[in-house]
Amino acid sequence: MSTAKVRYLGELRTENIHLGSGNAYVTDAPLDNNGRGEAFSPTDTVATGLANCMLTVMGIKARDLEVDLTNSTADVTKTMASNPRRIAKIEVVLSLPANISEKHKKILENTAMTCPVHNSLHPDIERHVQFNWDSF
């Protein structure tokens, strides 16, 4: 069974529909690649997918540990390279609650760093991840 349906809308834009839920989002080519930059670019979705995955698996593990990560955030910075055009670096800065034990912090950090997206990215993509445990 397919996961998603992607439709090219023209003008360097796609519509993406998750078939299980019907949720949708649009991508747009970035300004530096002939686009309007009015939505996530395809490479933005890859970079933010890393942060989404990290927070999701941390949430699963946190639930098992009876730890609440609600309102945690991730700031994502993507750096592109050329020849060939590709993602060169993804930086993720996670802002997490302060009231977590050192033991649980280590478990949650390891969980994040072994998420499926992290394990799926090409090894040439630099990844810099920072965990800020005193954010709220």
* Domains of the chain and CATH, by start: 4-33 (no CATH), 42-132 (3.30.300.20)
Contact between 92 and 130 under an 8 Å Cβ cutoff? The reply is yes
Q: pTM for this structure?
A: 0.95
Res 7: pLDDT: 98
Q: What is the dihedral of CA 62, 66, 70, 72, to 10 degrees?
A: -40
pLDDT tens for 71-118 read 999 999 999 999 999 999 999 999 999 999 999 999 999 999 999 999
Contact between 23 and 39 under an 8 Å Cβ cutoff? The reply is no
Phi, psi of 55 (to 5 degrees): -65, -35
Q: Does the pLDDT value for residue 136 go beyond 90?
A: no
Query: Is the bond into 84 cis (omega within 30 degrees of 0)?
Result: yes
Give the mean pLDDT of 1-16. 97
CB atoms within 10 A of CB 26: 13
Give the mean pLDDT of 115-123. 98
Report the distance separating Cα 124 and Cα 16, nearest Å: 27
Give the mean pLDDT of 19-42. 96
Res 135: pLDDT: 77
Number of helices (H), then strands (E), in the chain: 3, 6
Alpha helices by DSSP H, listed for 11-130, are 42-65, 102-113, 116-120
Question: Would you give the DSSP letter of residue 33?
Answer: G
- For the record, the structure tokens of 20 come out as 């299980």
pLDDT tens for 31-74 read 999 999 999 999 999 999 999 999 999 999 999 999 999 999 99
Report the distance separating Cα 14 and Cα 63, nearest Å: 35
Res 60: pLDDT: 98
Res 102: pLDDT: 97
Res 19: pLDDT: 98
Res 104: pLDDT: 98
